[in-house]
Every structure is written in C-alpha cells, then in structure tokens.
C-alpha cells in the first residue's frame, strides 16, 4: 500500500495505523467507504454551533 497522503497538508504519512496526521494533527478521514460522501464536522465547528445556539436561545429568552 502506498503512503497515505494527508488531505489537509498533503504530507505523506508512513504510519498505516495513524488516525491523526503527524504534521497538522487533523483527522486523516480513514473511514472511507460507506462514509465516503459524509464529512464529519470538526469538533471546533460543533462547539461554535453549540455556542451560537446558546447565545440565540439566550437572546430569545431576553426578548420574551
């Protein structure tokens, strides 16, 4: 199997078992196949969405 290329920083990954890129720390998205078309949102994105929802609900409470 050829070296895996990080989709984020394009660096070759020697470790076949690695789940995270050695260079940029991003997920290597190894779970292709049935999840090939689905892209997991990054944890940062999830946190930002949660914070925005909390702020939005708080503003709604203030308006009532």
Q: List residues near Zn ion by CB under 5 A.
A: 6, 8-9, 21, 23-24
Q: Which is nearer to Zn ion, 18 or 50 (CB)?
A: 18
| Residue 16 · residue 1 · CB < 8 Å | yes
Q: Which is nearer to Zn ion, 12 or 41 (CB)?
A: 12
Q: How far is CA 12 from the centre of its chain?
A: 19
Least Cα distance to 31 among 23, 43, 21, 39 occurs for 39
CB of 4: closest distance to Zn ion in angstroms? Answer: 10
Bridging pattern class, strands 4-5 and 12-13 = antiparallel
CB of 9: closest distance to Zn ion in angstroms? Answer: 3
CB of 49: closest distance to Zn ion in angstroms? Answer: 24
């Amino acid at each position: 199997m050829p070296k895996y290329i990080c989709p984020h920083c394009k660096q070759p990954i020697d470790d076949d078992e690695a789940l995270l890129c050695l260079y940029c720390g991003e997920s290597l998205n190894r779970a292709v196949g049935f999840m090939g078309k689905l892209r997991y949102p990054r944890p940062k994105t999830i946190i930002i969405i949660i914070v925005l929802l909390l702020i939005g609900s708080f503003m709604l409470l203030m308006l009532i």
